[in-house]
Structure formats: C-alpha cells, structure tokens
Amino acid sequence: MISGLAHTGVCVPNLAEAVQWYTETLGLAVLSPPARIEGRAIENDMAEMIPGVALQAAILGVRDSGDHVLEVIEYPKHPGRPKPTDWSLTDHGFSHVGLLCDDVAASRAELEARGVHFLTRGIAEIAGLETTWFEDPYGNVFILMAKSATRLPYFRQWAATARQKGNPR
C-alpha cells in the first residue's frame, strides 16, 4: 500500500515570483528547476480534474532530504482563486505544511527581517517542540518547528520529553 510521503503541492498565481520568495525568503533550494508541462502525458494524468491542463512547476526543498519537498505549481490556463478572506485554519482540507529548523527564535527573527508575516506573536513550546506559525504571500500556512530530541521524528517528541520528565506515555 502506501510506503511513504512524497511532496506537498502548493498552488500559486505566479511561479517565478513564488520560486523567488521560497528560495530567497525561506532559503529553500531549487531541486528541479521550473518547467512547463503540457500535452498528452499531463492530459492523461490530470485532464479529468482540469480539462485542457497545462502547468508550470518547480521542486523546492532542502538538499538531500529525499522526497520531502514542495512542488510549487502554477496553472497558467486555469488561474484559480486566492484563499477567501474569511478562511480559517480549521476549514476542511490541507491546513498547513510543517518545516523543521534548528533554532526557532533565530529562524523567526531572520524571516521577520525578510518581511515574512507571522500568524502568532511568539514561540510556543508544545509536545517537545518549539513552534511558530507564518504564511507565504499566497495565504498558505506553515508551522516552523524545532525538535528537542533531534534524532527522533517530530511526532515522537512528546513521548521523548515525557520520559525525560518521568511521565510514561
């Protein structure tokens, strides 16, 4: 069945501007440069959902991180709609993308200096993680996280910190 998670697709109105923002502001690397995909193969893949589909996409991420990447996509023939102004993090569907860093405070300060809009006033400590939330220029939400137990996946942080404090899980 499913053997892993590959990528998160982020739909944007302008691929070139988005690639610039994600690379210059967040420091992600271009792992596969922007390319236009149209024709029979993409039609076979997506035309039932998007008739006449053509897309431009780039793969961004952290070098040597495997399939854990952002696929940044623009549909030039189908421009889409921006998020409604009354959207909520609790609306159904994908809600956010989690990004890891070594130091949330330093990363937040650097991102704020680059003009990133944060959704929370500070840094929280929860379940063995330090967290803070921000959005990209298109309203996509990200959580920036630093792990206390660096060798464990983020979702095992609570159990590790509970054991350190003598609380079995």
Per-residue pLDDT tens for 34-89?
999 999 888 888 889 999 999 999 999 998 887 789 999 999 999 888 889 898 98
Rounded Cα–Cα distance for residues 58 and 72 (Å): 5
- Please state the pTM of the whole predicted model: 0.81
Local confidence band at 167 (pLDDT 50, 70, 90 cut-offs): low
The pair of three-digit structure tokens given for residue 71, joined into one six-digit string = 């696929």
- Are 28 and 118 a contacting pair, CB within 8 Å? no
How much helix, strand and coil, in percent to the nearest 5, is found in the chain? Answer: 20, 30, 45
Sequence-ordered list of residues with C-beta below 8 angstroms from that of 162, at least 6 positions apart, any chain: 128, 168, 169
pLDDT of residue 148: 87
Measure the CA dihedral 123/138/9/83, to 10°. Answer: 100
> Locate tokens 């993308």: which residue?
97
CATH of span 96-169:
3.10.180.10
pLDDT of residue 169: 46
Please state which CATH class domain 1-79 belongs to.
alpha beta
pLDDT of residue 1: 64
Each residue of 118-157: pLDDT tens digit?
A: 999 999 988 888 999 999 999 999 999 998 888 888 778 8
Domains 1-79 and 96-169 share a fold: yes
pLDDT of residue 126: 85
Q: How many CB atoms lie within 10 A of CB 15?
A: 20
Domain residue extents for the chain: 1-79, 96-169
Q: 47-50: long-range contacts (C-beta < 8 A, 24 or more apart)?
A: 50/75, 50/78
